[in-house]
Amino acid sequence: MSHNNIGTIGAPPFKLSALTMAIAVAIATQPKQEDEPHWLDAEEGPLAQRFDNFLNSWTNDTEFTIEHESSDALNLYCMTANSIPFSFRRIDDRYSLLFDNESESIQQSTFEFFVEQLKFLPL
């Protein structure tokens, strides 16, 4: 991944290994524990709720694509799951989720949570 220069890494559609899929499903269905809040707890918008429902629909057969672009002012993750596009975007100090042809501001912690989980996927 490029961190300082604008660059794009594209990957062809792939099916996750059983272990990686287990991690992805764990992201989507992360149980709420008292000492560890669910990512959705930090969000208030309706798009985040619809996105959470989308995450919960993933199965072992879900195919993913991921592209990443970054610079000092931009960090963009464009993805698809079963050909349905979504992305996480940081522009300066603003963070957003793009899904279902809509965009919604999200918390920095939500953006960082998903970016951290992407480290487990084969980019």
Count CB-CB contacts under 10 A for residue 68. Answer: 21
User: What is the arithmetic mean of pLDDT over 3-25?
Assistant: 49
Query: What pLDDT digit, counting tens, does each position of 90-103 carry?
Result: 999 999 999 999 99
DSSP state of 5: S
**Is the per-residue pLDDT at 66 higher than 60?**
yes
Mean pLDDT of 84-113: 96
Torsion of CA 100, 104, 106, 111, to 10 degrees: 40
The values of phi and psi at residue 32, to 5°, are: -80, 120
Q: Look at residue 121 in the predicted model and tell me its pLDDT.
A: 64
Q: Are 40 and 107 in contact, with CB atoms under 8 Å apart? A: no
80: amino acid identity, one letter: T
Q: Is the pLDDT of residue 70 over 80?
A: yes
Q: What is the C-alpha separation between 63 and 3, in angstroms, rounded?
A: 26
Q: Where exactly are the structural domains of the chain?
A: 9-118
Distances (CA, A) of 38 to 25, 41, 42, 51: 14, 6, 8, 14
